Structure 1
Amino acid sequence: MIVLTARYTIQPGQIEKVLEHLREMAERVKADEPACTMYRVHKPVDTEDMLLLYEVYVDDKALEAHKLTPQFKEIIEGKVVPLLVKREREVFDLVLDAAE
């Protein structure tokens, strides 16, 4: 299992537009990417212009395939990234699972 976190710092006044685009992205990921088992967007309780995306993929190939999808290119690269001040991403590999 691979986890991607992405921290978006958004231009002032643009958070609703970014959330609108991410809602569309989430719908398309759910419909077209079965190897993405979780796609969530979180907003800090004390910060207005920041979001944290939390995505889970079955393996690193699924994550790489996600980056090549038409929806990633159209929505994330084409619509979301231009509204950001900064985008920080980290990829994690599962090393311990308390559910096992």
Structure 2
Amino acid sequence: YATLPVPVEDLDPDIADICAGGWHSLAINKYGEVFTWGRGEYGRLGVGDRSGASKMRPCQVNGIGDHIVVQASCGGTHTLLQTSEGRMFAFGRGSFGRLGA
């Protein structure tokens, strides 16, 4: 753990927004691209890794096409993204309907 602020390595310097869940963090750059890092169980990072491996450095979230993400919300085991067109994308643990699908 860190008792003082540390820079997040390998992250685009043009970050527009950030959020954090219980076990993962997320950043959106000014182009609407999304990056996640942290514990990988349940697919909460959205990087397509089914092994559940944790990512210690930011990884780009793919699978949302050319959509521009403008807002995100991180839960304990899932993540929601909102695009500039008002569409919603969800990934992570889907029990109890939390992914809306």
Q: TM-score when scaled to structure 2?
A: 0.28
Per residue, is there more strand in 1 or in 2?
A: 2
Q: Higher relative contact order at CA 8 Å, sep ≥6: structure 1 or structure 2?
A: 1
Per residue, is there more helix in 1 or in 2?
A: 1
Q: TM-score when scaled to structure 1?
A: 0.28
Tell which structure's C-alpha radius of gyration is larger: 1
